[in-house]
Chains A and B, each alone.
Chain A
Amino acid sequence: MESQLYSVEKVKDFINEGRVLALAGDERLLSQLPQGAWIGGTIPYFMDIDKGKFSKDMIYVNELEDAQNGVSIITYDEHNIDYLVKDAYDNGFTLLIIPPFQKIHHDFALKAEELEGLYNNPVIGWVCGMDLNSNDIPYTFNGLTGEKYTDKAIAMHVELPENKFAQIEIFNIFERDENSPEIEFYVDSFDVVNCLIDGKETNLAEYISNHKLDIKLPLIADYSGASINVSIKEVDVENGLVSFYAPVFQGKKYKFAKPIDDYVRSFEVKTLNYNSEAVFSCNCILNYLYGELENKKINKIKGPITFGEIAYQLLNQTLVSLSVDEL
């Protein structure tokens, strides 16, 4: 089945046929669905097969066709998130949906890197969200039990046959600006007051304000060649506080991203190798908004637009994708 937006009726049929599904859509639509082998999260923004769309009438469907050997759906909060990796199958992958800015979101983002066995199998997923011009509340859905949560994450652990393996790819349009100062932080945190800028203790909010830096550009850390973004949520000069959409980590060296002239063009170039057959993929709300992706088609990019992307750990302003291949 092609991953794309479908009507509620169609999705009900898929569930009743016993298909294993990962869903994204408006809360009112997801709440109508029957119990079955599915997990879901709320969001009304999508990259559909033809273009970027805002929809509260359709549900985005990813069928996990490789989930023939085994599937388990588990709800996680801050008390059992440590078991996320242990609950996974020996060979497979985990698809995780987290509600934004709750304790589970915070804890997962800060702890993920130290989860034992995190890299044994891909952990991919997204942070659900809502219409930015509404008072809607983001929810995660456990299709198996029919329950929805504002404060719990839902994971679908999928077992793959021995002759298959799953792998994650990320697509990041940003690059570290080599002329940027080097920024180091004292503590793993979503908020920062002081930091070291080129080795000198500085208030980050003042620095950003004084240098008139573009806060649409993320900070980037180099993870052995992978550019990992941390996007700026808010700069509060009055209180000297900067907040991020993902945590910054002590011991990592960050730089500001190089400015981008043409967001869409950058996406087109960077996603040339995007695998349209990916089992699952999603892209960041900031990319969607800053890049004005609504009604635009970029290569064959598909999937829900998210408030945070998960590729082993929480990422920002990044497109993530999971594919399953033969060994």
Chain B
Amino acid sequence: MIQIPPKDRKEWRDLLTGQINVPLKNFFFQMKITQAKKLIEKDKLTVEDAVDELYNLCVKFSKAKYMDVDIQNIFGSNTFTNKESIEIEKTKENNAESDVLNNEEKNLINVKLQEKKERINALRMKEEAAKQQRESGYKSQIDGPGKSAKNDKLEQIRLEAQRVIQQRYEMELAKRKMKQEQERLKNKPVSKNLSKGMQDFMKMEEEKKRIQQRKKKKVVRQKKSGFGSFFRNWFN
């Protein structure tokens, strides 16, 4: 019985990320892994999706020639029978489904708790506002109308000063963040990769231009291939 190990086995991931480099024998397996690696490198496929895809195809083609040899070479003897492996995957999928349900229940409870907290906070704020109103009415009664106007002006100045301080603080914070970001970008290795990527892109564009130019210039040819002349008309 051919053995396809479950997809959470580390080796699947390692195979697709180049951690395991076993020469394979089954043609489909060889081509699929090469393609998946390329797509992962180009950020067109995630490793997780690639593992899913590869696992499912290996199950589908588990009886293909040399598949058993390749699986044995990658996973060693510590593998499961195909049936066991599929059952394990099914159990995991069921568990994952119940996890999703549990998470949804938890989320619902959290939302309800949050709503309750917000209602309590709103009530508290209302009470606080009423209390402040009561106190300020009492104060202005004691100080009289002239004192109350003077207090209002002082309060306005205090608030304005607070606003200016807050503004300055925020500006300072923004400057610091900008500086930190600049430093981070300067030291970030990705920026070097980007420039390498740009270099590759430039090289690619240059080569494309060269090919176009040379193909146009092909007036005199030094024929080395006996069959080239037969296909030339078709190709161009």
- Residues of A contacting B234 in the complex (Cβ-Cβ under 8 angstroms): 100-102, 138
Query: Considering only CB atoms, which chain A residue lies closest to B231 in the complex?
Result: A101
- Most chain-B CB neighbours within 10 Å: which of A114, A223, A225, A241? A225
Closest to A225 in B: B23
Interface band, chain A:
35 or more
B150 contacts which chain A residues (CB < 8 A)?
Answer: none
Q: Is A327 an interface residue (CB 8 A)?
A: yes
Question: Which among B24, B65, B203, B228 is the interface contact of A167 at CB below 8 angstroms?
Answer: B65
Q: Given that A169-B27, A224-B24, A241-B215 are known contacts, is A233 also in contact with B227, CB under 8 Å in the complex?
A: yes
* Residues of chain A contacted by B158 (CB below 8 angstroms): none
Distance from A20 Cβ to chain B, minimum over Cβ atoms (Å): 23
A153 within 8 Å of B by Cβ? Answer: no
Closest to B60 in A: A165
CB distance from B62 to the nearest CB of A (A): 9
Q: What's the Cα separation between A224 and B25 when bound, in Å?
A: 9
Residue in contact with A286 in the complex, picked from B24, B44, B227, CB distance below 8 Å: B227
A324 CB to nearest chain B CB (Å): 11
Closest B residue to A118 using CB positions: B35
Q: A119, A191, A307, A327: which contacts B215 (Cβ < 8 A)?
A: A191
A119 near B57 with CB under 8 A, answer yes
How many angstroms from the CA of A224 to the CA of B73 in the assembled complex?
13
Q: Is the CB of A225 within 8 A of B225?
A: no
Q: Which residues of A lie under 8 Å from residue B32 when comparing CB positions?
A: 119
- Check B227 against A235 for contact (C-beta < 8 Å): no
- Min CB gap B78→A, angstroms: 22
Q: Is the CB of B38 within 8 A of A215?
A: no
Distance A289 CA – B33 CA, assembled complex (angstroms): 33
Q: Which residues of chain B come closer than 8 Å to A75, judged between CB atoms?
A: none
- Chain B, residues 224-236, CB within 8 Å of chain A (1/0): the string is 1101101110110
A67 CB-CB contact with B under 8 Å: no
Q: How far is the CA of A237 from the CA of B214 in the complex (A)?
A: 11
Interface check B188, CB cutoff 8 A: no
Dominant SS among interface residues on chain B: helix
Contact between B211 and A241, CB atoms less than 8 A apart = yes
B34 part of interface (Cβ distance < 8 Å) = yes
Residues of A within 8 A of B235 (CB): 101, 190, 233, 243
**Cβ contacts under 8 Å, A169 to chain B:** 27, 65
Q: Complex: how many Å from CA A307 to CA B227?
A: 11
Q: Is B30's CB under 8 angstroms from A236's CB? A: no
Closest B residue to A112 by CB, please name it: B35
Q: Tell me if A240 is interfacial: C-beta within 8 Å of chain B.
A: yes
Q: Which residues of B contact A251 (CB under 8 A)?
A: 38, 41
Is A170 interfacial (CB-CB < 8 Å)? yes
Question: Do residues A186 and B207 form an inter-chain contact, with CB atoms below 8 A?
Answer: yes
Asked if B211 contacts A224 (CB within 8 A), the reply is no
- CA A155 to CA B73, docked complex, whole Å: 36
* A232: Cβ under 8 A from any B Cβ: yes
Interface residue B100 (Cβ < 8 Å from any Cβ of A) = no
List the B side residues contacting A120 at CB < 8 Å: 57
Complex: A236 Cα to B215 Cα, angstroms: 10
Query: At the interface, yes or no: A80 with Cβ under 8 Å from chain B?
Result: no
Residue of A nearest to B35 (CB): A113
Separation of A285 and B230 alpha carbons in the complex (Å): 13
Identify which of A101, A114, A193, A208 contacts B211 (C-beta below 8 A): A193
**B211 to chain A: closest residue by CB:** A191
Q: Are A192 and B211 in contact (CB under 8 A)?
A: yes
Residues of A within 8 A of B39 (CB): 114
Give chain A interface residues in 207-243, CB to chain B under 8 Å: 208-209, 215, 223-226, 232-241, 243
Cβ of A250 under 8 Å from chain B? yes
CB 8 Å contact bits of A245-260 with B (1 = contact, 0 = none): 1000011000000000
Chain A min CB distance to B190 (Å): 19
Distance, CA A256 to CA B25, complexed state (A):
21
Neighbouring A residues of B23 by C-beta, 8 Å: 224-225
A98-118 interface code vs B (CB 8 A; 1 in, 0 out): 001110000000000110001
Residue among A187, A223, A289 making CB contact with B208, cutoff 8 Å: A187
> Could you tell me if B218 and A241 are in contact, using CB atoms closer than 8 angstroms?
yes
Q: A100's contact among B208, B211, B231, by CB below 8 Å, is which? A: B231
Verify B224–A235 contact, CB threshold 8 A.
yes
Choice from B24, B25, B28, B222 contacting A238 with Cβ under 8 Å: B222
| Residues on B with beta carbons closer than 8 Å to the beta carbon of A234 | 221, 223-225, 228, 232
By Cβ-Cβ distance, the 6 closest A-B pairs, closest first, are: A101-B234, A234-B228, A225-B23, A226-B30, A186-B207, A235-B224
| Known pairs A224-B23, A233-B227, A235-B224 / 11 extra A-B pairs, C-beta < 8 Å | A113-B38, A119-B28, A138-B234, A186-B206, A192-B211, A193-B214, A225-B22, A226-B30, A235-B225, A236-B221, A250-B204
Between-chain CB contacts (< 8 Å), 26 pairs = A91-B60, A101-B231, A102-B234, A114-B39, A119-B28, A119-B31, A165-B64, A167-B27, A167-B61, A169-B27, A170-B27, A186-B206, A187-B211, A191-B215, A193-B207, A215-B225, A224-B34, A226-B27, A226-B34, A232-B225, A234-B232, A236-B222, A237-B222, A239-B217, A241-B218, A311-B27
